[in-house]
Amino acid sequence: MIDALLVLLAGVLAFIFGWNNSSLLIGNIRASGSLGAKGAVAVSVIGLLAGAAIEGPKMLKSLNGSVAYSSPEIGLAITLGLAVAFTVGLTFLKLPATFSGIMVGSFLGAAVALRLAVNGGQVLLIVSFWFIAPLIAGFIAFALHRATSTLLTSVSVVGVDSFNRLAIVGTSFAVAFVLGANNVGLMAGTAAGGGAGGQGAMVAVGLALVAALGAVTLGKGHVSDTIGDRMLSLSPQGVFAVFAGAAIAVIIGTQLQVPMSIGESVLGGMFGSAYSQRTTVINRRVASLALGMWIVTPLMAFATGYILAAV
Amino acid sequence: MKLRPFSFISRKESKIVQEIEGYFRIVEKTVDGFAGLVKAMAERDWAAAKNFFQLVLDGESEADSVHRTLSMAIAEGAFFGGIREDILDLLETMDNVADSAKDAARFLESEEDLDDFALSLLESDEMKLFVSELQSAVNALGKLIAAFDLGKKEILARIPAVEEWEEAADSSKDKLMKRLFRSSSTPNPVTVIQMRDFLFVADDIADYAEDASDVILVLAAKGYD
């Protein structure tokens, strides 16, 4: 019974996740005009599935089996249930939802309330990597943006246009891949109780399909827009640098079993990309809001998870 | 050297850039027609003037048509990430160059509209210099558009030439204005007003060429950053 509930909650969460990240998964390609609607959907679906199938299994034990060694199913249900509630609430409020932060916070809160043995070293790694990842993404974005600006100087307008097209499709695939690997893998692991072997991987692939469905059916790109479009304006090469930097930061986190929010890395990448140019205008109020939400949300999820598990 | 490492992906965009170059040649032909009209009027070759006038009208009309087709093609699907609006702006400004040539030509539509004083102004060395500077500004814009194939460095290197020719034309226009208003003879006031307006409208040819170069500067800054 509770197993079915976990899978159902994970399915709902995956659907909302797809909706929440639709502008990253599909919006970039569609808005840029690089590909038509079918092509954009195909890139994101293939990316999500490939990420979930190839790298997703590395994230299966990133909470249950890593942060705490064996959580009872009620702890996992609280984690998934709160993730659904927080993500829906923040999405409707058009606020950036740090999906992985909510899951880690609520899982940890429930684990502490249930008096489980918590792996302090892994918690420290996760929290510290949340701060390091934007710096990594920012550094990569800075270097990539500088490099592309320099290398493309002698390339024709059409050549630059072609590069932009390729870069947007490539980075959109990369973003879908890392979201499938890290976030869908995290959801699958939580739903499968740390899901050993093939079962967890199958759940990950199934959830990736559900996430793609969420992105296609409900996605209009509102939430990710609040972070990116309102914060600063970037050229296509800037967008490429940001998403490449963010994707690399998330894939590094995946190797370390760290649940990651790509939004944090995108924010870091945006600063890196923006500061690689001579003139930069950044909406600091929006940046501060995003940063504040990413610190406050896991803490709120921790407190709520603790209270629910204690009750 | 032309570097187009990925251009196989952007065939449609490549075609549009070629068509912009073709569009420019129509604009240039219109301005050349205007220059021919001024020369023919100055030489009192009314038959040639009539032909040049028709050339200007036809050129402007063709430019309008190509402008519309190109704008539709860009609006309907060409990629040009981040610079699409700037390319549309460029086309609009290029169209203004052709429009100015036509508007200026209208002042010289018929020999009956011009008295001896007006004709003497048209045949003056200052007028010849002014018209050649207008043409040079437009030619410099053509070289700038051709640099779309060569990259940002070359684009930026070719922008100042348009501005220099525009300033030169502006200076020549001022000299012609002085000649117009400080003439020792007593010209017909209507002729003075007509020629003053003619000079202002003709000067717009270089002004719009310079505006187009400004749009290209923005396009290069946005497209390559």
Higher pLDDT, B5 or B60: B60
Chain B residues contacting A via beta carbons under 8 Å: 1-10, 13-14, 17, 77-83, 148-153, 219, 222-225
Residue ranges per structural domain of chain B? 12-223
Res A22: pLDDT: 77
Q: What is the pLDDT of residues B125-168, one digit of tens each?
A: 999 999 999 999 999 999 999 999 888 889 999 999 999 999 99
CA distance B220 to chain A (A): 8
Residue B119 has pLDDT above 70, yes or no: yes
Helix axes A37-54, A157-178, angle to 10 degrees: 40
Mean pLDDT over residues B52-71, rounded? 95
State pTM to two decimals.
0.80
- Among B147, B134, B36, CA closest to B90: B147
Integer Cα distance of B152 and B158 in angstroms:
10
Residue A1 has pLDDT above 60, yes or no: no
Per the prediction, chain A carries an average pLDDT of 84
Which CATH architecture is the domain B12-223 placed in? Up-down Bundle (1.20)
Residue B13: closest C-alpha in chain A: A158
| Residue A226 confidence class, pLDDT cut points 50, 70, 90 | very low
- Per the CB < 8 Å rule, is A156 touching B225? no
- Higher-pLDDT residue of A231, A33: A33
Phi first, then psi, for residue A64 (nearest 5°) are -80, 110
State the average pLDDT over residues B84-109: 94
* Structure tokens that stand for B155 in this block: 């684009």
Residue A28 has pLDDT above 80, yes or no: no
Contact with chain B for residue A164, Cβ under 8 A: yes
For chain A, give the percent of residues with pLDDT over 70: 88
Q: Over chain B, what is the mean pLDDT? A: 90
Mean pLDDT of A57-62: 88
Q: How far apart are the CA of A247 and the nearest CA of chain B, in angstroms?
A: 21
Q: Is A197 on the interface with B (CB under 8 A)?
A: no
Is residue A116 within 8 Å of A46, Cβ to Cβ? Answer: no
Each residue's pLDDT tens digit, B158-210: 999 999 999 999 999 999 999 888 877 777 888 899 999 999 999 999 999 99
Q: Which of B3, B11, B144, B150 to mutate to test the interface with A (most CBs of A within 10 A)?
A: B3
Give B12's pLDDT tier (boundaries 50, 70, 90).
Answer: confident
Domain map (residue ranges) of chain A: 2-125+178-231+258-266+282-310
- Please tell me the number of Cα atoms within 13 Å of B39 on its side-chain side: 14
Count of CB atoms situated within 10 Å of the CB of B84: 16
- Rg over alpha carbons for chain A, rounded to the nearest Å, is 19
Q: Give the nearest partner residue to A165 out of B3, B9, B153, using CB atoms.
A: B9
Q: Provide the pLDDT for residue A222.
A: 47
Q: At what angle do helices A120-151 and A99-113 cross, to 10 degrees?
A: 170
Predicted complex ipTM: 0.78
Higher pLDDT, A204 or A234: A204
User: What is the nearest CA distance from A253 to chain B, expressed in angstroms?
Assistant: 29
User: pLDDT band at B7, cuts 50/70/90?
Assistant: low
Q: Looking at the complex, report in whole angstroms how far the Cα of residue B20 sits from the nearest Cα belonging to chain A.
A: 12
Q: Is the pLDDT of residue A224 over 50?
A: no
- Among B2, B3, B4, B6, which would you mutate to test the A interface (most chain A Cβ atoms within 10 Å of its Cβ)? B6
Whether the per-residue pLDDT at A159 is higher than 90: the answer is no
- The residues, any chain, with a CB within 8 Å of residue B140's CB and separated by 6 or more, are B158, B161, B162, B164, B165, B209, B213
Residue recorded with tokens 């205008």: A281
Helix (H, G, I), strand (E, B) or coil at A100: helix
**pLDDT interval class at B124 (50, 70, 90):** very high
Cα B180 from Cα B182, distance rounded (Å): 6
> What phi and psi, each to the nearest 5 degrees, are found at residue B141?
-65, -40
Calculate the alpha carbon distances from A267 to A231, A290, A291 in Å.
9, 8, 9
CB contact under 8 A, A164 and B77: no
CA distances in angstroms from A64 to A117, A191, A192, listed in the order given: 11, 10, 9
Q: Verify whether the Cβ–Cβ distance A238 to B225 is below 8 Å.
A: yes
**Looking at residue B76, what is its pLDDT?**
76
Taking the C-alpha atoms of residue B119 and residue A281, their distance in angstroms, rounded to an integer, is 55
Helix (H, G, I), strand (E, B) or coil at A257: coil
Q: What average pLDDT does this structure show over A63-80?
A: 85
| CA closest to A28 among chain B residues | B81
pLDDT in tens, A133-146: 999 999 999 999 99
Q: Per DSSP, what are the bridge partners of residue A118?
A: A68
Q: Do B10 and A32 touch (CB under 8 A)?
A: no
pLDDT of residue A33: 61
Confidence check: pLDDT of B93 > 90: yes
- Answer whether residue A214 shows pLDDT above 50: yes
Closest-CA residue of B relative to A30 is: B79
The alpha-carbon gap from B63 to the nearest alpha carbon of chain A, in Å, equals: 23
- State the pLDDT at residue A29: 66
Please state the rounded mean pLDDT for residues A231-254: 86
Mean pLDDT score, A93-112: 87
- Residue A220: per-residue pLDDT: 56
pLDDT at position A229 over 80: no
Rounded to a whole number of angstroms, the distance from the CA of B225 to the nearest CA of chain A is 5
Cβ of A165 within 8 Å of Cβ of B6? The answer is yes
pLDDT confidence tier of residue B29, bands split at 50, 70 and 90: very high
What pLDDT was estimated at residue A281?
A: 60
pLDDT average, residue stretch A88-106: 84
Tell me which residue in A155, A165, A277 faces B5 most closely, judged by beta carbons: A155
- The pLDDT tens digits of the residues spanning B81-90 come to 778 889 999 9
